[in-house]
Chains A and B, each alone.
Chain A
Amino acid sequence: MWIQPKDLLLPSPFWIAEMYSKYFVLQKRRGHGESRGFGSMLVGTFDSVMSTKPAPYRILHQTPSSEVSYEIAIGLTQDEIVKDWEWLQTNLFSVLNEMENEEEVTNFTICKIQSLYAQNNQDDTGESPDFKVMTSQFRKIFKMPEEERLVNSYSATYVKNKIPRQGQLYISLNHVCFYSYLLSEEIKRIIRFAELEDISRSGKTIYLKTTNNMTYNFTLIFNASKAHALIEQLNKMAIQKLIQDPESPVVDHDTSNYTRFATKMSKEPVLLRDLTARQKSEEFRVYFRLPQTEIIDGKIKADIWTPYSKRFHAGYIYLSPNFFCFRSDVKDLVSLVIPMKTIKSVEKKDDGQQRYDNQIVIFSSDNVPFMFSKIVDREVLISKITDLLSRIHIPVSRERAKYDISWSKQTALLNTFKTQFSPDIQKKQEQKLARWEDHFRDFGRGIAMFRTTDVINLIVEGIPDKLRQEIWLIFSGAIHDKEMNPGLYEDLVEKAACIKNSFVHDEIDRDLPRSLPEHPAFQCTDGIGALRRVLQAYALRNPQVGYCQAMNIVSSVFLLFCDEENAFWMLAALCENLLPDYYQDKIVGAQIDQGVLNELVATHLSDLHEHLERLGVIKMISISWFLTIFISVISYESSLQILDCFFYEGAKIIFMISLQIIEWNRDKLLDCQDDGEAMLVLQTYLEGIYNPEYQVPPPTDKRRQERPQTQTVQTLIYEAYTKFGAELTQQRIEELRNKHRRLTVRQFDIDNEKTIVKAHVQNPYFERLELHTLLTIIREEKLVLKSVQQQQKTQSLSEAPQLQHHQSPARDIMPGGGSGRHEAYSVNYEVFHTLFSELTPWRKCVSVDIAEKLFRLTDKKGTGQLDFGQLVNALGLVCSNKSTEKLKLLFVLHLPPLLSKAEIERTRRPRPRTKDDAEEAIEAEDFFDDDASESIEALPSPSDQNFDADDFALISATQHLHNLAGISGNTFMDLSRTPNLSLNSNASSLAHRNSTFYVDLPGAAGLAGLSGTATRTDAGQEDDYDIGLHQQGRYESIDTFSDISDLGAARMTPPTTAGAASAAAAGSNAATAAEQMLLNVETISNFSQISDLVAATRLDRADSNATDTRSLGSLGYLLDQPSEGAAGGHSPVPHMRKENFQLLWRSIIEIMGCVQDEDMRRAYENLIELGNSNIKKEPSLESFTQLNLAGSGDEQPDNNGNPTTPAAEPSSTTRLFIALEEELRQAKAAAAGGGAAATTRTTNTTSSGSSSSTNISDGWHISIKQFIATALTCECIEKAFQTSTRIVEQIEQLQKKRRKCLSTNYNY
């Protein structure tokens, strides 16, 4: 990278020369790369301590006789610098050699480099080269992805173990990072903004505390306050992203917008400038109540001439594209907002007396002059204003679609429903009106009035009815939004009217008569209709908020005084500016402010605080106070006056009044024993507040009349201002809000996690604590992913999306609306992959991407998301000590087509996807040709992008395997189940068994892993059916299997009801089952454990209802599956191919840590041999294919609703168990004997009576139970698989790694 040439006086010892030429030298900084000597360590420390951080490579230009050398290029990598070097070689070396004068050489070189530098930086972001170096170092040190943009970095000290470490604090968009290198000891810390729980600063030290209770402190000699403010700002942004759905902002706050307004010449990094501009704009907007789209352009010092006092006041002029504002240095003395479009002219004015220099006069469209003086740079200001004026965009009413809806805008309802004042009050209103008229004469009227303390005084006394609309609109800022969006309201109303069957509209309709029912205007259609239109239009404008109760109440008051379009814009100002996030999902904003109020009580009414905290009162009262701005708790006429102040002061007034009311009731509250009493005290007091200056006719609600009057609202407001007005500043509220925003969001997480843990606490794998930790890590991982994705998105929007790292199979992880508590913790493929590879013992497996297989297997419905239950099951099993189950799972994971041929090829010789794969895919697709309908259903898969035929086949196959392994979510349903085996329960029902038993997974403890196969007799189907259903014991035997599966919603059904219920259910489900069974013929024949599913499914079906058909159905069709049906043109089963098996074995070896002992080798050979012998004995092991299905096969084609007879196994668990034991012994003996003969024996046993119709196309073949039995003969395998993994430790390690950046932060 060429840089502006810099002269250097001394050759530095920190650099080693790598290449020389006559005039140039390429140097490399010590401490980078290979050289590990003391010198390089020293340089590293020096760099870290001095925070010099130069780029590792540079090129200097020097002439032999000169002491001075010039740095002309720097490089972050060798390649980069060598490129520059080569350019020099080709372009400059020869030219320079011809020159004689060294001075000439230098001049020429520098000139050349300068032009190169200028050329290269034309389309640059404007970052200084230093900052670019810093950014790249930041990314390198912390392994951050390209998307993570560095904002700034500061030199800082971090105290660890009481030893201060000097280093560098990096602040990027999503992280605070620290790096220090002190005499070969490296320290790295990474803290995410979204996980900060507390941020504070005392003096030069910044304290940070994260949600998992890590604390950090960084001392910054310089810039501590700047860094603190920056951290606060970025944290706020991060938390707000959590609160608001960034996908659909009402007003787009893209950071990139700010770029062009930031001062170009500043030396600060671009992003920092953006952020500063953003912060300033926000303050500017809040102060002047301007629309959210306004971005500050600049400010300039000036004095303003105020005609009412006939003098000048010092302050600042602020400019933004649509507004010219002024704010006095003395707080609240005077401020002014002039919309640009009303500015008619700007003139220079020079008094003869020269008393006031540099004056300008601005004339508004009403020819009102505004005079400013002492403007430092008058010319610039004028040209700036002219420029802004020329660019001003006056919005015109848009062309809009015509809807067939007739309506007319309602004017202020009070025009029709006049308030009948008593003569006294009438007189008071007129007096007030007269005073306002006076005020307008002196201070101006409309938006561009001089806003002074006088106007506050007038407002506090109450605005007369006639002026309310005008004043409210101006001070709430609603008028600006309205003027910028002409026609929008009409458009929204008509669009909303066309929406049918909307839930939001139902909610609105229900509340219309419950808004301001005591007012006659809302007892007739005029008011109700207008209210409906306003609320519906707003719900359409801001779908994130939609409709929240309380909006109806405030809107109805607006409608009394304003015409409906104005009321709409006031509502918009309320929801978007004045009470931010209040009406969102979970009313976040109000809950945040509740925390703020709580803290304010603690500061200002400290004696009361503890008591109130104990009663939990503030949480109860504040919601109605905040959300309705007291309208629902104080009499209507009193609340109006609070509302007047509210539009001027914003949320501050709510806090002041709340504090005042609590203060006034101090003694009574202290006497309260419980929350109810306290509520009653406050409720009574509030209802007694009255407004003697605005008495409407007696309220219809009689309850109210009974209340004794307590205090006038005027006193309330006055006292509140005197006592708390000065201390409560907007800035302080904002600071407190930042803090409580963090705490509130954190509390949501805690609550959610608690609930989820409660729901899953009975899972077979994890303890409560483990679940909590798991949820924490999921949340953290999702945060990482979210921020990365958002940045990727922003980047791609703002051009230059060069880096498309990964072909991510991700779908959008934002749960729609985010309301579902459980959705918030469902994981997508990326997160799952990270968790799997960081936490489980199977991460060691590298040949096969087990995580991916497991995800597909677990994601039964192909949603691309695993819910928490599914995740617990998947990770839980892998981490558990259930060796047989784990082996079984591993086996399934390596089956084709989950592990496709193509993939096997790939593992053999890694290469990118080519045509061959496509061919494989076609083959695979053929393989599942008949499953098309099923597959389509299953289409949504983790791999949405890059979806090809291969994937297609995989997915369809995956569906089958789901059924095989039976892993699924839905664990909420089967909390009642725990693995148990009551073996004696059903010994009697052995009667007509004619079945083959399989050894399947006898568990080490003799408890787990019993999972047998049962068959049914081929006679007396109905009878068998019933008997089968009554087999409690049989069912329980399944439970071991359901450790990994949850079998849909297999609840324990009382045996007595099961039969009856299922008989009924069978009929209704038969049609579905029959349809589906066609598709899945092949799956059944291969795996013995299917029969478990079969039986379980039967029970499932027994108590399934219509809503479960999808989840149960997928298992349900297995039930009636006749393998003979396969003869009807169905494809052969996915069975274990040799290649797959080899990979499976390799995975095992990898899981065991890449060691293979003699036992294992023998077992492997046995299995291979076994596979071969299985071919010879063509009738395969899939003996249970004939089990139940021989008989029902006849009925299989009957898919017109007749119950296809479900197979019933009057199996006895006892018998089964014995048989299993027997078989296991044999198998073990066989394996131990190591002889082929023994193997054959096993095969014989297991395949006895089998009459497979399956075509084994491939030849080699083994069954799952052979595999497991043999594998378990190896002690080391058994041991390895019986070891459980402590998930908490794993998670803690991962968190530590993340914090210290020991591993890559992002897995792509």
Chain B
Amino acid sequence: MASRKKSLLKVIILGDSSVGKTSLMNQYVNKRFSNQYKATIGADFCTKEVVVNDRVVTMQIWDTAGQERFQSLGVAFYRGADCCVLVYDVTAPNSFKNLDSWRDEFLIQASPRDPEHFPFVVLGNKVDLDNRQVSTRRAQQWCQSKNDIPYYETSAKEGINVEMAFQTIAKNALEQETEAELINDFPDQIRLNSDNNRPGNTDNCQC
């Protein structure tokens, strides 16, 4: 684990495949929308300088792959996260339903010290589309039930609410960082190669 300066915020974007994670990140960082992104494999990465509470901080945004089979890799990316952004697509009810599992998975793999108060932000993306299927109320309810997670409805395409959402993200992440440093490794980590001190043949048996 790298020693991190206080002015660095690590933000992880999670959510189902094709809800617009990459687009949101690029809209925020480069102020640009393109419909020519490839599906993200593994993870993508951007940084941006932001001013929060009159402080200049560097925000490291990690954009992850959405397909389920990539989830097991998460642990490499999640460690040391200051904030987790959960994205769903307002036109895809399933992506909303899966927020629960994304949140749980993150908490399990990242093991923040205080999971109850770890800062999440939920973004309902693609509000520019007509065929909306998840109501604002439903999303808000969900967020409330999870310790009042801040909720924004965004459009990466039109740039709606993106700036504001990321401001909140930065703010909450910063608070998190000052409050408590994360535990980066699991307390009960089992090391695979920790057994080299055992000489030659041992069988642990006394007979």
- State which of B140-148, B164-172, B192-200 sits at the interface with chain A: B192-200
Q: Does B17 lie within 8 Å of A743, measured CB to CB?
A: no
Q: Does B67 lie within 8 Å of A683, measured CB to CB?
A: no
Q: A159-B201, A616-B79 are in contact. Are A750 and B190 (CB under 8 A)?
A: yes
Chain A stretch 251-302: residues in CB contact (< 8 A) with chain B = none
Q: Does A746 lie within 8 Å of B60, measured CB to CB?
A: no
* Bound-state Cα–Cα, A674 to B77, Å: 12
**A768 contacts B by Cβ under 8 Å:** yes
**B53 contacts A by Cβ under 8 Å:** no
Which residue of chain A is the closest to B26 with respect to CB atoms? A703
Q: Does B39 lie within 8 Å of A624, measured CB to CB?
A: no
Chain A stretch 189-245: residues in CB contact (< 8 A) with chain B = 189, 197, 209, 213-217
Chain B positions within 8 Å of A750 at CB level: 190, 192
Q: Does B41 lie within 8 Å of A627, measured CB to CB?
A: yes
Q: Does B108 lie within 8 Å of A514, measured CB to CB?
A: no
Residue from B38, B186, B190 within 8 A of A553 (CB atoms): B38
The contact string, 1 if C-beta is below 8 Å from chain B, for chain A 592-618, is 000000000000000000000011100
Residue from B3, B32, B42, B45 within 8 A of A673 (CB atoms): B3
Q: A674-B2, A703-B30 are in contact. Are A748 and B39 (CB under 8 A)?
A: no
**B202 contacts A by Cβ under 8 Å:** yes
Chain A positions within 8 Å of B35 at CB level: 513, 517
**B161 contacts A by Cβ under 8 Å:** no
Chain A positions within 8 Å of B203 at CB level: 160, 189, 214-216, 1299
**A732 contacts B by Cβ under 8 Å:** no
The contact string, 1 if C-beta is below 8 Å from chain B, for chain A 43-86, is 00000000000000000000000000000000000000000000
Chain B stretch 117-174: residues in CB contact (< 8 A) with chain A = none
Q: Does B188 lie within 8 Å of A754, measured CB to CB?
A: yes
Q: Does A614 lie within 8 Å of B1, measured CB to CB?
A: yes
A907 → chain B, closest Cβ, in Å? 37
* Bound-state Cα–Cα, A622 to B41, Å: 10
Q: Does B41 lie within 8 Å of A632, measured CB to CB?
A: yes
Q: A197-B192, A549-B41, A586-B72 are in contact. Are A510 and B17 (CB under 8 A)?
A: yes
Residue from A548, A746, A1299 within 8 A of B69 (CB atoms): A548
Chain A stretch 639-698: residues in CB contact (< 8 A) with chain B = 672-676, 679-680, 683
**A518 contacts B by Cβ under 8 Å:** yes
The contact string, 1 if C-beta is below 8 Å from chain A, for chain B 1-23, is 11111001010000001100000
B171 → chain A, closest Cβ, in Å? 20
Which residue of chain A is the closest to B194 with respect to CB atoms? A213
* Bound-state Cα–Cα, A591 to B74, Å: 12
A297 → chain B, closest Cβ, in Å? 38
* Bound-state Cα–Cα, A772 to B189, Å: 12
**A552 contacts B by Cβ under 8 Å:** yes
Q: Does B192 lie within 8 Å of A747, measured CB to CB?
A: yes
The contact string, 1 if C-beta is below 8 Å from chain A, for chain B 60-91, is 10100111111011011101000000000000
The contact string, 1 if C-beta is below 8 Å from chain B, for chain A 618-635, is 011111100110001000
Which residue of chain A is the closest to B17 with respect to CB atoms? A510
A488 → chain B, closest Cβ, in Å? 26
**B178 contacts A by Cβ under 8 Å:** no
Which residue of chain B is the closest to A616 with respect to CB atoms? B76
Q: Does B43 lie within 8 Å of A620, measured CB to CB?
A: yes
Which residue of chain A is the closest to B42 with respect to CB atoms? A623
Q: Does B45 lie within 8 Å of A680, measured CB to CB?
A: yes
Chain A positions within 8 Å of B18 at CB level: 510-511, 514
Which interface class (under 10, 10 to 19, 20 to 34, 35 or more) fits B?
35 or more
Residue from A587, A620, A674 within 8 A of B70 (CB atoms): A587
Which residue of chain B is the closest to A514 with respect to CB atoms? B39
* Bound-state Cα–Cα, A1123 to B1, Å: 65
Chain A positions within 8 Å of B201 at CB level: 158-160, 215-217
Which residue of chain B is the closest to A519 with respect to CB atoms? B36
* Bound-state Cα–Cα, A501 to B49, Å: 44
Q: Does A515 lie within 8 Å of B192, measured CB to CB?
A: no
* Bound-state Cα–Cα, A623 to B203, Å: 38
* Bound-state Cα–Cα, A935 to B103, Å: 38
Chain B positions within 8 Å of A511 at CB level: 17-18, 39
Which residue of chain B is the closest to A216 with respect to CB atoms? B201
Which residue of chain A is the closest to B3 with respect to CB atoms? A673
Chain B positions within 8 Å of A628 at CB level: 41
**A25 contacts B by Cβ under 8 Å:** no
Residue from B36, B73, B108 within 8 A of A701 (CB atoms): B36
The contact string, 1 if C-beta is below 8 Å from chain A, for chain B 175-195, is 000000000001010101001
Q: Does A676 lie within 8 Å of B72, measured CB to CB?
A: no
A994 → chain B, closest Cβ, in Å? 40
> Among A511, A621, A746, A748, which residue has the most Cβ atoms of chain B within 10 A?
A511
Residue from B69, B72, B77, B190 within 8 A of A620 (CB atoms): B77
**A341 contacts B by Cβ under 8 Å:** no
B6 → chain A, closest Cβ, in Å? 13
Q: Does A215 lie within 8 Å of B202, measured CB to CB?
A: yes
A-B pairs with beta carbons under 8 Å apart, 26 shown: A159-B200, A160-B201, A189-B203, A214-B202, A216-B201, A217-B200, A507-B17, A511-B39, A515-B38, A548-B69, A550-B39, A552-B39, A553-B41, A585-B69, A616-B1, A619-B76, A620-B43, A623-B73, A624-B42, A674-B2, A675-B2, A676-B47, A680-B45, A701-B34, A746-B192, A1300-B205
